[in-house]
Chain A
Amino acid sequence: MFGTLSRSSKLTLLALLVLAILPPIFIWTGNSFYVDLATRLVILAIAAVSLNLILGYGGMISFGHAAYLGIGAYAVGIPAHHELYGGFEAIASFGGFTHIFLAVGISALFALITGAICLRTKGVYFIMITMAFAQMLYYLLVSLDEYGADDGLVIDARSEFPLINLDNSLQLYFVCLASLAAAMLIVRTVVHSRFGMVLQGAKGNEERMTSLGYNVYAYRLVAYVISGAMCGFAGALLGNFTTFISPEMMAWSRSGELMFMVILGGVATTLGPLLGSAAFIIIEEAFSSYTIYWHLPFGLMLMAVVLYTNGGIMGMKFKWRSPSAEKGTQENGTK
């Protein structure tokens, strides 16, 4: 069965396997701190995978993707808050399915409305507008005293699911890991479908795709909504993991970090976002344990990546294998 898989699929499965094996070992060896780290890594990877769909495959440079992480987390925190303290009966709940429904639904709706406006514009406008809409949400939540304003809100109870107990860190971790695997599979399937061909074609040459008869705007909007919904789901997991929500989760520097993960890992690859998130977590941990000024080396590194590499980690590897392969096309090249 493995023989029929492409090289990049094998690498992806291997990476997921490693992620499945390590945390139980961490627990048994008493290093539960690393399980938390791995959980955060996996959740960020889901967000990065979702961003990669529009940024990597669709060429839509969204600088507001953290907004969906925030929406997802608040979709856990707000219903739980009302369930505990009353008010807003319609959504008050500890129920996991309610939370997921709200996280995914509101994210999709926000993506649909803002995407419909953002996608009318191009280039720099698009970057700045996605950023501005995320910031709008940020200020909205800062102004809501009921949910802690900029101090944030502690989530007193995690989402409740049948059979699964998210208070158990290993169970939470495996839920996140399974979600990551599903997210990767979904994006991989979508980008190889006819829809995905149109999306990638529009990234390569929008005018050509239009003159072929594709309503590029509509295809991009659908991809934008899928991506937002997926990231909203990641946000719900993040809320359950941190049990704390604050507007800071959707600050634009968070969006910048997500972009960094996607670019560093290598855009338009299945494994790239995971590698990028892993690199980010490692950099953050490594530097921040030495110095409170860890953003300095991180910032310098970001600049170095932009100035001196072209296709991120995946790009470097594939460049070494086939110097002629252009950036952004590694995935197709491995077929």
Chain B
Amino acid sequence: MDTSLLIIQTLNGIQLGLLLFLVASGLTLIFGILDFVNLAHGSLYMVGAFFCATLTFALGSFPLAVLIALPLTGLVGYGVERFVARKLYAKDHLQHVLGTFGLILVFDTLTHMIWGPQGISIPLPAWLDTQVTLMKDVVFPTYRLLIIVSGLVCAAGLYWLVNHTRLGMLIRAGASNRTMVSALGIDIKTLFALVFAIGAMLAGLAGMLIAPITEAKIGMGNEVIITAFVVIIVGGIGSVKGAFIAAILIGLIDTLGRSFLDDVFKLFMSSSAAETSAPAISAMLIYLLMALILAFRPQGLFPPMVR
């Protein structure tokens, strides 16, 4: 096996994991504090990407576009909370799932009407569209490195927010005991809306960051949301720390599985058999991991202490 390729793919895996974390952390926070299942969380990922695309062309600057698209996506998240989610809290999970499934269809169709059926690719500024040599034979795109750095910064910021601020204290308290938070005289509605907006911005940011690589396209949120579900199931629903560890784990397994599984298989089967079976197995790898973990720990790796 090629060591430099291994390093590059490991970095790619971490990059994927961090993007997954951005989506999953909002999802797990919203579930943890609101007991709300938001299938439409992936739509915010998509909306973020499209906002960013339009703004990049309007302003001619990708970084500037991200800065403006972020609060806009947060606003959309706030709107979702205010006009849809808030009315669903009192209902059961089945209704959450169906209602937000409806919301996805609405978001996808509106995106289709506004931006058309084609995906939009976002041009990177020249200084980002380069490669850096990390060590001998390891050349890595600058932009992907930037994604890793931003992902880590966000993770650190979120850690600080949840563990060292008053808002974070309320979020943690709200996750374990909602009535207590209301009893403290906190306006729980504002808190909920804020959590939703933060989650939306995180998901939106992930969408914006990935868009220059893949392009902003309809349905991109629906692909990422299931993987994000796997992440929070493995990590333990409601746990931000669990989401982080699970996201990196899944990012790595998925990326490394896709690039190296056939080599591994070739060690013990014919190379044609390996080439047929490896893509199939690697497509299922993260789900198999999920199944394995659940078989032993039905509550995920880091279940929140009290629910």
Query: Is there any pair of Cβ atoms, one from A and one from B, under 8 angstroms apart in the complex?
Result: yes
Q: With an 8 A cutoff between CB atoms, is A191 at the interface?
A: no
A303 to B300, CA, bound (A): 31
CB distance from B89 to the nearest CB of A (A): 12
Q: Given A124-B93, A127-B37: A296 and B284 within 8 A (CB)? A: no
Indicate with 1 or 0, residue by residue over A122-143, a CB within 8 angstroms of chain B CB atoms: 0111011101110110011011
Chain A residues within an 8 Å CB radius of B229: 128, 131-132
The one of B37, B88, B98, B232 in contact with A263, judged by C-beta atoms closer than 8 angstroms, is B98
Q: Given A256-B101, A299-B104: A139 and B37 within 8 A (CB)? A: no
The one of B103, B109, B279 in contact with A143, judged by C-beta atoms closer than 8 angstroms, is B279
A142 to B258, CA, bound (A): 14
Chain B residues within an 8 Å CB radius of A295: 105-106, 108-109
Q: Given A302-B98, A303-B102: A121 and B287 within 8 A (CB)? A: no
CB distance from A119 to the nearest CB of B (A): 10
Q: With an 8 A cutoff between CB atoms, is B233 at the interface?
A: yes
Q: Do A300 and B102 touch across chains, with their CB atoms under 8 A apart?
A: yes
Q: With an 8 A cutoff between CB atoms, is A301 at the interface?
A: yes
The one of B93, B113, B287 in contact with A127, judged by C-beta atoms closer than 8 angstroms, is B93
Q: Do A307 and B99 touch across chains, with their CB atoms under 8 A apart?
A: yes
Indicate with 1 or 0, residue by residue over A249-275, a CB within 8 angstroms of chain B CB atoms: 000110010011001000000000000
Q: Do B97 and A120 touch across chains, with their CB atoms under 8 A apart?
A: no
Q: Given A139-B283, A143-B279: A124 and B98 within 8 A (CB)? A: no
Chain A residues within an 8 Å CB radius of B198: none
Q: Given A120-B298, A123-B93, A125-B233: A144 and B280 within 8 A (CB)? A: yes
Q: Given A128-B229, A293-B113: A140 and B103 within 8 A (CB)? A: no
- Interface residues of A: mostly helix, strand, loop or mixed? helix
Q: With an 8 A cutoff between CB atoms, is A117 at the interface?
A: yes
Chain A residues within an 8 Å CB radius of B299: 121, 125
Chain A residues within an 8 Å CB radius of B97: 61, 63, 127, 256, 259
Indicate with 1 or 0, residue by residue over B263-281, a CB within 8 angstroms of chain A CB atoms: 0000000000000100110
Chain B residues within an 8 Å CB radius of A293: 109, 112-113
Q: Given A132-B230, A302-B99: A140 and B106 within 8 A (CB)? A: no
Chain A residues within an 8 Å CB radius of B290: 129, 132
Q: Do A124 and B226 touch across chains, with their CB atoms under 8 A apart?
A: no
A61 to B95, CA, bound (A): 10
The total number of A-B Cβ pairs within 8 Å is 128
Q: With an 8 A cutoff between CB atoms, is B75 at the interface?
A: no
Q: With an 8 A cutoff between CB atoms, is B186 at the interface?
A: no
Nearest residue (CB) in B for A118 is B294
Q: Do A142 and B98 touch across chains, with their CB atoms under 8 A apart?
A: no
Q: Do B280 and A140 touch across chains, with their CB atoms under 8 A apart?
A: yes
CB distance from B161 to the nearest CB of A (A): 24
Q: With an 8 A cutoff between CB atoms, is A16 at the interface?
A: no
Number of interface residues of A (CB under 8 A): 42
Q: With an 8 A cutoff between CB atoms, is B145 at the interface?
A: no
Chain A residues within an 8 Å CB radius of B115: none
Q: With an 8 A cutoff between CB atoms, is A305 at the interface?
A: yes
Q: With an 8 A cutoff between CB atoms, is B237 at the interface?
A: yes
Q: With an 8 A cutoff between CB atoms, is A20 at the interface?
A: no
CB distance from A151 to the nearest CB of B (A): 15
Indicate with 1 or 0, residue by residue over B208-236, a CB within 8 angstroms of chain A CB atoms: 00000000000000100010011011000
A102 to B37, CA, bound (A): 35
Q: With an 8 A cutoff between CB atoms, is A306 at the interface?
A: yes
Indicate with 1 or 0, residue by residue over A88-112, a CB within 8 angstroms of chain B CB atoms: 0000000000000000000000000
Nearest residue (CB) in A for B258 is A143
Q: With an 8 A cutoff between CB atoms, is B169 at the interface?
A: no
Chain A residues within an 8 Å CB radius of B276: 146
Q: Which residues of A contact B (CB under 8 A)?
A: 55, 61, 63, 114, 117, 120-121, 123-125, 127-129, 131-133, 135-136, 139-140, 142-144, 146, 252-253, 256, 259-260, 263, 293, 295-296, 298-303, 305-307
Other CB < 8 Å A-B pairs besides A132-B229, A299-B104, 10 of them? A117-B294, A121-B298, A124-B237, A127-B97, A135-B226, A140-B280, A256-B97, A295-B105, A296-B109, A305-B98
Selected A-B contacts with CB under 8 Å, 20 pairs? A125-B233, A125-B299, A128-B230, A129-B294, A135-B287, A146-B276, A256-B97, A293-B109, A293-B112, A295-B109, A296-B105, A296-B109, A298-B102, A298-B105, A299-B103, A299-B105, A302-B105, A303-B102, A303-B106, A306-B99
Closest 9 CB pairs of A and B: A299-B105, A302-B102, A136-B287, A306-B99, A303-B102, A299-B106, A139-B283, A296-B109, A143-B283
Q: Which residues of B contact A (CB under 8 A)?
A: 31, 37, 84, 87-88, 91, 93-95, 97-99, 101-106, 108-110, 112-113, 222, 226, 229-230, 232-233, 237, 276, 279-280, 282-284, 287-288, 290-291, 294-295, 298-300
